[in-house]
Amino acid sequence: MFDKIKFAQILKNIGETYENQRDFSKKSEINRTYLSQYMNMKLDEPPKPKILEKLANASNGIITYNELMEMCGYIDNVSNSNLLNLYKKLEKFEQEYIAAEKELNNNEYFIFHDLFYQLLNFLNDGYTTPETFDPNKILNNLDFISDKSKQRLYNSLKTRFIYFYERNKVKNELKKTERYNNSEFSLDNHSSNIKNKIFNIPVLGKITAGQPILAEEYIEGYLPVDPDVYGMTLTDDLFYLKVSGESMNLKVHNGDYALIHKQDYAENGDIVVAIVNGFDEATLKRYKKINDELVMLEPMSSYPMEPIVINLKETKFKIIGKAIGQFGKF
């Protein structure tokens, strides 16, 4: 049960480690008014776990995330000890699979994520365990890669399987708590503080006017991105676009994957994904605004190609996103 008096006192204790509440708010990335409401016991419901995680990280050692979770009723006393042990094991397995995946080169990464769904089949069959899971059952048919690549893929599949297997144990333990069943708790909100996580971003084969960008029929799979490279914390506005053609081969080759941030604006020189005339599939080009009526989409190719000049009064034109990288480099 949430004890708002005790929670308010904890917040005040944390606040005393800062020069002022503004600094506390900045460090925790939590709105000052929101903090003040809890300090003054104005709110009866506890903060959500992701807020508690921010508070714990900004508490200067005063309180841990698990202690806050227990104080707010997300974890009860009976299950708390067992969960702590499970989370410690989970963090270890998480570190191991991240380290294994960082050993993969770009081509191996793509192969790994193609194999990932087969891995899930083993995970969900109800009887395969880390002791009985053999990645070679998945890798045996890959005659086109070297033995060294197979070994790296073997390590990645094995460590990822163990992580998900242990993660399911934590989920099962959490289901015993009332808060979990109320959908206020997600295991994702109780992630470890490992910074080098890998995000999986959807890959689109094409984008068509009038359809949602992430329409299911256009998603061909998923590819990884290291969040530290781009300083990202969320991936909702990102997707990979599979590039077709040679019009941008000085930047990204035919068959490669451009990493796109969804947005409807651009600056001169940005490489954008745009739809022209409202019917064609999206095109990837360098954007240049000539004046209020004209924009130009310029190819960046080793072959001679003409730019596309668009009269905004006569032609439907929509920017879908801006390229910020690609699978490998940009």
Could you read off the pLDDT of 239-266 as tens digits, one per residue?
888 888 888 888 888 878 888 888 888 9
**Residue 296: its pLDDT value, please?**
94
Q: Which amino acid is residue 22, in one-letter code?
A: R
pLDDT band at 151 (very low <50, low <70, confident <90, very high): very high
Kind of pairing between the strands at 238-242 and 199-204: parallel
Per DSSP (E only), the strands in 46-165 are: none
At residue 95, the pLDDT reads 82
In the three-class reduction of DSSP (H, G, I as helix; E, B as strand; rest coil), residue 134 is classed as coil
pLDDT at 146 over 70: yes
Domain co-membership, 28 together with 67: yes
Q: Which of 25, 59, 247, 251 is catalytic?
A: 247
Active-site residue, 247 included: yes
Number of H helices, E strands in the chain: 11, 9
Catalytic: 36?
no
Here the CATH number for the domain that contains residue 322 is: 2.10.109.10
Of the candidates 157, 127, 161, the residue with the CA atom closest to the CA atom of residue 142: 157
Examine the pLDDT at 236 and tell me if it is beyond 80.
no
* pTM score of the predicted model: 0.44
Q: For residue 17, is pLDDT > 90?
A: yes
Above 80 in pLDDT, residue 275?
A: yes
Predicted confidence at residue 53, as pLDDT, reads 85
| Residue that terminates a domain, selected from 26, 42, 71 | 71
Domain identity same for 55 and 170: no
Amino acid, res. 81: S
Taking the C-alpha atoms of residue 193 and residue 272, their distance in angstroms, rounded to an integer, is 34
Residue with tokens 């929509």: 318
Q: In what order do the strands lie in the sheet with 238-242?
A: 219-225, 199-204, 238-242, 257-262, 317-326, 271-276, 283-289, 294-298, 308-311
- Pair (219, 183) in one structural domain: no
| Host domain of residue 271 | 202-326
Structure token digits, residue 284: 């990837």
Choose the final residue of a domain: 121, 155, 190. 190
pLDDT score recorded for residue 188? 47
- Section 282-306 average pLDDT: 91
Please indicate, yes or no, if residue 37 is contained in any of the structural domains: yes
**Which of the residue ranges 115-119, 148-152, 162-166, 286-290 would you say has the lowest mean pLDDT?**
115-119
- The enclosing domain of 35 has a CATH number of 1.10.260
Contact status, residue 52 vs residue 64, Cβ threshold 8 Å: no
- Rounded percentage of the chain residues whose pLDDT exceeds 70: 76
Q: Is residue 258 part of a domain?
A: yes
Please identify which of the residues 285, 289, 316, 318 carries the catalytic annotation.
285
pLDDT tens-digit series, residues 59-79: 998 998 878 887 887 765 545
pLDDT one-digit tens code per residue, 161-207: 898 888 777 767 666 554 444 433 344 444 443 334 566 788 887 77
pLDDT at 69: 81
Q: Domain boundary at 56, 71, 86, which? A: 71
Query: What's the rounded Cα separation, in Å, for the pair 74 and 173?
Result: 12
Same domain, yes or no: 276 and 231: yes
Please give the DSSP secondary-structure letter assigned to residue 188: G
Inter-axis angle of helices 21-28 and 49-57, to 10 degrees?
120
